[in-house]
Amino acid sequence: MNEAIFLNAINHFFQGELGTIHKHVTRFDSYEAAFVALNSALDPEKLYLELDKAGVGFILSSNPLFPEALLEINPKPLGLYYKGNESFLKNLNNLLVIAIVGTRKASRLSLDFASELAKKLVSYNCLIVSGLALGLDKAAHEGALLGGGKTVGVLSLGLDGVYPSSHLNLANQMIAQGGGLLSEYPLNVPAFPNRFLERNRIVAGLAKATIVIEAPLESGSLRTANNCIEFGRDLFVAPGALKQPNFLGSHALIKQGSYLITEPEDIIKYFNLEKASRENLILPLDLSDIEKDLIKILNQSNQLIDNLVDLTKLEPQILLRNLSALTLKGLVGETNGSYYLL
């Protein structure tokens, strides 16, 4: 029987207590043996079927789809729950993964910078990772979506829920645009304070580089930064107002030698990134002339509806009808009024 079935059951038995789970399973040669030793009345196969019903997948660290970067951290996850098309797992291994984190109570300037940063980086084939929390996390995810890119959220609870619940629509948009959600926790496990810190280690572990924007002292973002340093990854920090409490942690990281970032180009130059190219875009044969023109415009850059009206000289109703047709054909996406090629 699939070993993932038994690890999922063990995760349920211990209600996602990762330290206890790791300690228990290391005593056995297989997850099946580790589960049998629990003498539990839980039905492993039934629990696994519940994952399918919830639209959640589960992979072990031995699975080829498992994020390779997480195999290098200690302790590495035994397995990961995921929501979204499996292609986003492949992208975690194939694209440059950048984490963007910061306080939930960020200033407007910091929120705008996080969004701008994510939007710019996805145009260079970066994948943005964060924790789907309020504040900077949300801004980073939304910026990536606005740029037509992919973004992954790491959660501190089972994937039958989202925390905060107000971000459910955002999570669905992330999945619809080719990103996804990850968690170490089984279904029906709620978010507890310690689980946010465990989640942060996964955020830092997935990324080649972590960018900290507006972090107070003793914040979760600092823990993510420390994880980043511990894992030997690159750490970038945005500066802020002197003596402003929300930037004291950020400035402490800069003093310790982290890279300073003030604009997206700092990341682009550091990693020598090249703009994502679609020069060899092949158009489907069943497109109308208007649809082809729209594809060519969006191939250059994402566009707001007002800009498209100006560029195409079309009546808004005709323009929207053609954009809807391209959306139904899976060629164009829309986020917050910005249209982009999928």
Measured distance CA(318)–CA(271) in Å, rounded? 42
Q: Are residues 160 and 229 in the same domain?
A: yes
Q: Are residues 22 and 108 in the same domain?
A: no
Question: What's the confidence (pLDDT) of residue 303?
Answer: 86
Of 241, 270, 299, the position where a domain reaches its end is 270
Residue 163 belongs to a domain = yes
Residue 73 belongs to a domain = no
**CATH number, domain at 296?**
1.10.10.10
Q: Is 227 exposed, middle or buried (0-12, 13-18, 19+ CB in 10 A)?
A: buried
Q: Are residues 219 and 124 in the same domain?
A: yes
Q: Are residues 221 and 163 in the same domain?
A: yes
Q: Are residues 9 and 115 in the same domain?
A: no
Structural domain of residue 41, as residue ranges?
1-53
Question: What's the confidence (pLDDT) of residue 1?
Answer: 62
Backbone φ, ψ for residue 133 (5° rounding): -85, 175
The conformation of residue 283, written as its DSSP 8-state character, comes to P
Measured distance CA(213)–CA(137) in Å, rounded? 10
Low-confidence ranges of the chain (pLDDT < 50): none
Residue 60 belongs to a domain = no
> If phi over 0 gives left and psi between -120 and 50 gives alpha, with beta otherwise, what is residue 25?
alpha
Of 31, 53, 75, the position where a domain reaches its end is 53
Split into its structural domains, the chain has a count of 3
Which amino acid is located at 310 in the chain?
Answer: D
Q: Are residues 242 and 99 in the same domain?
A: yes
Report CA dihedral (111, 262, 276, 131) to the nearest 10 degrees.
-40
Which amino acid is located at 5 in the chain?
Answer: I
Question: What's the confidence (pLDDT) of residue 179?
Answer: 95
Q: Are residues 245 and 99 in the same domain?
A: yes
Question: What's the confidence (pLDDT) of residue 285?
Answer: 58
pLDDT tens for 139-192 read 999 999 988 899 999 999 999 999 999 999 999 999 998 999 999 999 999 988
Measured distance CA(292)–CA(307) in Å, rounded? 17
Question: What's the confidence (pLDDT) of residue 23?
Answer: 95
Give the DSSP per-residue string, 128-178.
EEE---TTHHHHHHHHHHHTT--EEEE-SS-TTS-SSGGGHHHHHHHHHTT
Residue 17 belongs to a domain = yes
